[in-house]
Amino acid sequence: MNSARLAAGFIGAGNMGQALIAGLVNGGMAPERIGIAEPDSARATALQQRFRGLVALPAQALAAQAETLVLAVKPQQLPTLAPTLAAAVTGAKPLVVSVAAGISTEQLAGWLGPETRIVRAMPNTPALIGAGIAGLFAGKNAEPADRETAERLLGAVGATVWVDREEQMHAVTATSGSGPAYIFLMIEAMTEAATRLGLEPETARQLTLATAAGAARLAAESTESAAELRARVTSPGGTTERAIAVFGERGFADLVDAAMRAATERSRELGA
């Protein structure tokens, strides 16, 4: 490893870029080993004040100096931006990790060069508090060490899972990428229903949030499946049974299935 090189360079230091930088620094990486290329100079300066020593460079210089180059700009910016990095990437050969939704490793290799080692990641917004989960896919030139590097990078802000086929990234997007919004929707609906049932809004909010967080943690830590845990709180003739029956009558599982199919379809369209 050439110690003069930056360990990680972020093209784009918006929400996701900043979450990853914070994760790396919290995990012990010196800000001096991290670079950003960010056109919003106020944002770049604020980040350099937050992380003393963070290096700001033009995108091409960053691509030439970073061992791992993280593409964290909006997907629609990549078709114009990525080709401008091709010469630096072909020369310096960084591992490229892209978090851009819907952009395939093949498209990236088309812009950056066919030999580029690429890992694609789909993180989610709980990464902002270190509680994310990212789906990862290794492009054809990525080596085992590249997988480890990408896993460490995304692992700094949450859990990671690998998929074997790039096509599966659409399902990852529909599950964990968009998933936080489904859970927020459930939280909104339960809070509003509880308020209509007569609780103060703040009480409704507290009860709902703690229930969502507690149920998720119980499901994660238990050896029993979610279905078994649900059956356990559903006593015959009880209140939960009555509520679950209404969910069933109104087609809750079908609704979730249709919503996630729609998200998958949209992810395919965006990548087309």
Enumerate binding residues for ligand NAP (CB under 6 A): 11-17, 37-40, 43, 59, 72-75, 77, 81, 99-101, 122-125, 177
Q: CA geometry: angle at 236 spanning 234 and 242, to 5°?
A: 65
Nearer to ligand NAP, 208 or 267 (CB): 267
- Do 119 and 146 contact (CB within 8 A), yes or no? yes
Q: How far is the CB of 128 from ligand NAP (least distance, A)?
A: 8
Q: Determine the residue with CB nearest ligand NAP.
A: 14
Q: How far is the CB of 143 from ligand NAP (least distance, A)?
A: 24
Whole-number Å distance between alpha carbons of 210 and 237: 26
Whole-number Å distance between alpha carbons of 57 and 69: 13
Whole-number Å distance between alpha carbons of 23 and 158: 9
Nearer to ligand NAP, 103 or 204 (CB): 103
Nearer to ligand NAP, 22 or 72 (CB): 72
Structure tokens at 66: 């970073």
DSSP 155-181: HTTEEEEE-SSTTHHHHHIIIIISHHH
Q: How far is the CB of 31 from ligand NAP (least distance, A)?
A: 18
Long-range CB contacts for residues 141-145, cutoff 8 Å, separation at least 24: 141/109, 141/115, 141/116, 141/117, 142/95, 142/117, 142/118, 143/117
Helix (H) or strand (E) holding 11: strand 6-11
Q: CA geometry: angle at 269 spanning 263 and 272, to 5°?
A: 145
Nearer to ligand NAP, 131 or 193 (CB): 131
Q: How far is the CB of 241 from ligand NAP (least distance, A)?
A: 37
Q: How far is the CB of 264 from ligand NAP (least distance, A)?
A: 15
Nearer to ligand NAP, 21 or 100 (CB): 100
Whole-number Å distance between alpha carbons of 163 and 82: 24
Nearer to ligand NAP, 16 or 204 (CB): 16
Q: How far is the CB of 243 from ligand NAP (least distance, A)?
A: 31
